[in-house]
Chains A and B, each alone.
Chain A
C-alpha cells in the first residue's frame, strides 16, 4: 500500500465500493487526464471522494447511462482516461450496445467501474442484480474483465486498471468483503493469484466467491481432499497457463462465481481445458434462475453460492476423475 499512501489496515475495514472510491481519488492525483463520469450514483458508488477532490474532472449525466457511456467514448476519443461508474446491471445491460460499439469497437481507453454487482444489492431484487455482466463483457472483442475479491485487491485493481490500455470492465460489489488476499503480492491483470496449494482438485473463483472457496478448501482438507484455491481476478484475458496447470496437476476443477453459470468464468475455464487438457469442470453459480429478495448472505445462500455448494461440486469433480 506504500504506493497509494493508504494504510492496509484502513483499507481492510472498507466495503468494496468505499475501497474503490478511496483508490480512485488517490489515482486521480497521479493521472491529470483522468475524468470521472457518473449517472446520478456518484455518491452511491462512492466515487464522491474523487468528485470532491476533482470537481472540474467530474461529470454527472443524471439517470442516463447510455449517454454517459457514449460520452465516455467521446472523452476517450480526445485522449482522456474516461472512468464511467454505475451499478453493474446498468453498464452491462442498459448501456450494452454503447459499451460494445462505442467503447470496444473503437477500442477506447474507457474504464467501466461497476459497483453493486452480483447479488450484492440483495434486497433490491433481480432488477438490480448483475448476474450476466461477466458473460456480456467477456464476449466483446478488446474488452478486459477484472473482478477483485476484497478491499485490498480492489485498491490494487483500480490503479492497475487505470494503467492498463484499452477498455476494461472492473466488477465490484457493494458491501463489506472478507479479506482473502495478503497485501504483499503483485496484482497483475491477466495473472491469477493462487491462494492455497492443492493436488486433488482446483477451485477457481473471483469476487466474493473466493472467500467461500477458501472455507470450502479448509473443510475439504479435513475430509482428506487437497484443494487448490485460485483467485482468478481477471476473467478476461484468462490466465490459461494457471488453468491448464490446475487441469494437469489436480485433474479436476470447480469454478465459483456470483453470476449465472452461462458465459462466465465457468465456461471460460471449461473452454480452456476442453481444447487443451480435458478434465471435469463443475460450475457453481446461478443455475438458469433469477434471484430472490433477502439479506446479502441469505440471497447468496438461497441461490447456492456457498462453500457447501463448492464442497459438493469438488467431491463430484473428484469422483469423475
Chain B
C-alpha cells in the first residue's frame, strides 16, 4: 500500500561551532508501511522527511488499551536516532484512529551518539493494512 507524501516545513537549525553541543528544533514526518507483526506489536518502516530525513522503523504496541507505545529508530545520514513515545489513541473503532503523546530521544549513533531530547509524537494507525503516519515535533540536543 502506498501513501502520498505530505509537504513538510523544516525549521531552521541553530548554527553552532564544530564540536559544540547543538540544539535543534525538529519536525519530521513519515508514512510507514507495514513490515511485520507479533500480535499486539506492529512493525512499520518508511522514509522520514523533515529536519532530520532518513529511513525509520517504528515498533508500535497496541493491545486494545488506548495507552499505546512506540519505539523508533531513524537512520539518518549522520547517524541513527533512537526514541520512544507513549501516546493516547483516540476513536479505536475508526478505520484510522489517531494518537498523540510524549516523545523522548534516548540516544543514537554517529553524530547523534549522545543525543537526547523531547517533544510530541502525533500519528494515525491504518487498521486495514497496518500502516502508520507519524509526525514528531520537538527539541533535539546532540
Our verdict on whether A and B bind, yes or no, reads: no
B residues adjacent to A (C-beta < 8 A): none
